[in-house]
A and B are shown apart, each in its own frame.
Chain A
C-alpha cells in the first residue's frame, strides 16, 4: 500500500532564503502532485509530475520527481512572505484514481 511521508512538517524560514521540502513514497506511484493550502482555504494544485526526472517550475517554486529513489522535492528559492502556506504532496495509487496525501508541511516565511 502506498504511503507518503513529507518532511519537515514545519518550516520557519527567513525571507530571501532557500529551502527544500521532501516527499518520500513507499511503493510505485505513477504520478506525484503538489498542492498548496492557505489557512482556512481549500487545496490548490501546484504541480503535476508525470515521469522520472520531471521538473516543473512556477515562480520561486520548483518541483522534481525521482521515481527510482521514490522521492519528490519542492524547492523554494528566495522565499517571500506570500509563500507562507501548507504544502502537500500526494501520490497516485498504482491502481485506481485515489491519491495518498502526505501530512503536509507548514511553511512560515518571516521578514
Chain B
C-alpha cells in the first residue's frame, strides 16, 4: 500500500482480556518495527523484524507481549491478560534497507 496501515484505530478492552493489533507495512519494506507512546514514557521501542525474524525484541516489557510477522509482510502484536498500564498508542513503522522509518497512524489501546 501507499503507507503503513494499522488496525483497529481504537481498541477498548477490559483488564485481563487478550488483544491483537495488526500492522500492514509499506509494500516491499523488509524491516518492521513496533513502538508504543504513552504520556509518562514517551516513545518506546518494542520489537524489530527483519523479514519474518525478530533480531531485536529487547523492548517487549513482559512475557505477556508477543509479536509475529508472516510472509515478510503483515505483523500482529498480541498482548495477553491486559493491564491498565498497557494503555497507550501502539505505533508500527517500516523501512527499506536504506533505514528511514515510516510510521502508521497507530492503535489507541485503552484498558479499563
- A and B: bona fide binding partners: no
